[in-house]
Amino acid sequence: MMKFFVVAILFAFTEAGVIVGDTNCVSIRDINYEKEILKSNLESPYQLAIDHDTNTLFFSYTARNEEMFKTAYLSLKTGEYGIVSGIHEGFANAVNSKSGIVYMGGEDGIYQFNYDTKIATNLHIITQNANVWQMFYKDGLYFTTYPEEKAYLYKNGEMVEVPEVQNIKVMIIAVNNDNNIVYHNSSGLYMNNKAKGNSILLNSAVVNGITADIEGNLYFSNSSGIYYLNDKTKEVEELAKIDNIYGVAIESNGNIIYASEDSIIRLKPSKKVCIDSNMFVKNVVE
Ligand SMILES: *[C@@H]1O[C@H](CO)[C@@H](O)[C@H](O)[C@H]1NC(C)=O
Ligand SMILES: *[C@@H]1O[C@H](CO)[C@@H](O)[C@H](O)[C@H]1NC(C)=O
C-alpha cells in the first residue's frame, strides 16, 4: 500500500514537472539547489577564485596531452571562456578585490593577469624560482610553495614568511574574519589563534580547496563535499555531500560554484522539490 502511495506521489510530481532528480538536487540549510553546469569537458579544474568586480572565475586545470597545468578564466556572466597565456604551470589563483588585481601562481613565481590581453605577466617578486601551490588574498597575498610547503605573505612590495607558521609545513593557507590564519598540511586543518599564539586542530580531514565569500567567511572542499568553517564555534559544518569535488568558490550573491572532475558547476537556488534517494528507498521499504 505504502509503495503504491509513494509511486503515486512521485508520479504526481513528475506530471507537474517539479521533481529534480536526486543526482541533480542538493539541499543546503533547508534550501534546494539545482546543479547548473557552467563549463564541461575540463580536466581536473582546481584552485577556484572569483573576481567579484568582473564576475569572472579563474581556475587551473591539467592539460594532460602537454603534461602541464594551465590557468583558465570563465565569465560567470557571459560564459566567455579562455586560457591565460604567458604563465608557466599556472596552478594558483587569488584576487585582491580592493584594487582589482588578479594574481596567478606558476612554477616560477607570481603573475598578474591582464584582462585586455588575457596574458599573465611575472611580477618577479620571489627570489628563488618558487613553485606556487596555492594563494589567498586578505590585506595581502598569502601563498604556499611546493615542494617546500612554506607559507609566505606578499604585502606592500615586501615578502616575508608567515610568522605564525614559520617552522611548520603548510600546503593551503587562508585568513578568517578574526584575522587568524587557517591552514592545512598533511596532519590536518588548523586554526592559529594570533592572541594566544597557538593552533588548534579543526579537522584531520583532507582539504583540496579553500575560499572566502564576499564577507570573508571561509569554506573548504575535499573529495567528499563542501564545508563551512564557523568562526564562532570553530567547527566545521557540512554544507553538501557531493563526490569528487576538486575546488570551491562563492559568488557575491552567495551561490556556490564548485569544480567536479571535469566541470564547473553552480548550485542555483531552486523552488523545485528535492526528492532525495534515501527518502525514496525508505518509503518503499516501509
Ligand atoms: C602541521 O601543523 C601542525 C599544527 O601547527 C603541526 O603540529 C604539524 O607538525 C604540521 N605538520 C607538518 C608535517 O609540518
Ligand atoms: C572532508 O571533510 C569532512 C569534514 O571535515 C570530513 O568529514 C570528510 O571525511 C573529508 N573527506 C575526506 C576524503 O577527507
pLDDT at 65: 83
pLDDT at 282: 36
Nearest to 142 by CA among 191, 197, 94: 94
- Torsion angles phi and psi, residue 182, rounded to 5: -110, 130
Question: Does the beta carbon of 227 sit less than 6 angstroms from any atom of ligand 2?
Answer: yes
User: Ligand 2, atom 9: nearest CA belongs to which residue?
Assistant: 205
C-alpha cell at 55: 564576475
Question: Does the beta carbon of 168 sit less than 6 angstroms from any atom of ligand 1?
Answer: yes
153 CA → ligand 1 middle, Å: 19
Question: Does the beta carbon of 205 sit less than 6 angstroms from any atom of ligand 2?
Answer: yes
- b/e burial code for range 33-60 (CB count within 10 A of at least 16 → b): bbbeebbeebebbbbbbbbbeeebbbbb
The atom number, within ligand 1, closest to the CA of 149 reads 14
pLDDT at 271: 82
pLDDT at 12: 37
The atom number, within ligand 2, closest to the CA of 224 reads 11
CA pair distance 221, 209, nearest whole angstrom: 5
169 CA → ligand 1 middle, Å: 6
Ligand 2 pocket, mutate which of 204, 222, 223, 241 (most atoms under 8 A from CB) = 222
88 CA → ligand 1 middle, Å: 30
Residues belonging to the chain: 286
Alpha-helical regions (H) of the chain: 2-16, 277-285
Summarised one tens digit per residue, pLDDT across range 195-242 is 899 999 998 989 999 999 999 999 999 999 999 999 889 899 999 999
- b/e burial code for range 135-150 (CB count within 10 A of at least 16 → b): bbbbebbbbbbbeebb
Burial label, 157 (beta-carbon count in 10 A; 0-12, 13-18, 19+): exposed
Ligand nearest to the CA of 204: 2
Alpha-carbon distance values, 276 to 1, 21, 282 (Å): 21, 8, 10
- The model carries a pTM of 0.88
Question: Does the beta carbon of 223 sit less than 6 angstroms from any atom of ligand 1?
Answer: no
pLDDT at 279: 46
Contacting residues for 211 by C-beta, under 8 A, at least 6 apart = 48, 49, 174, 218, 219, 220, 247, 248, 249, 250
C-alpha cell at 105: 601562481
State the Rg of the chain over Cα.
21
Ligand 2 pocket, mutate which of 219, 224, 243 (most atoms under 8 A from CB) = 224
Q: List the chain residues with pLDDT less than 70.
A: 1-23, 127, 129, 275-286
CA pair distance 222, 204, nearest whole angstrom: 12
CA pair distance 123, 121, nearest whole angstrom: 6
Alpha-carbon distance values, 146 to 106, 149, 150, 160, 221 (Å): 11, 5, 8, 16, 20
pLDDT at 22: 55
Ligand 2 pocket, mutate which of 186, 203, 248 (most atoms under 8 A from CB) = 203
pLDDT at 23: 63
Question: Does the beta carbon of 236 sit less than 6 angstroms from any atom of ligand 2?
Answer: yes
The atom number, within ligand 1, closest to the CA of 186 reads 13
Question: Does the beta carbon of 188 sit less than 6 angstroms from any atom of ligand 2?
Answer: no
pLDDT at 18: 46
Nearest to 147 by CA among 95, 180, 103, 186: 186
- First-residue to last-residue Cα distance in the chain: 9
Contacting residues for 208 by C-beta, under 8 A, at least 6 apart = 46, 221, 222, 223, 245, 246, 247
pLDDT at 9: 42
Ligand 1 pocket, mutate which of 145, 167, 168 (most atoms under 8 A from CB) = 168
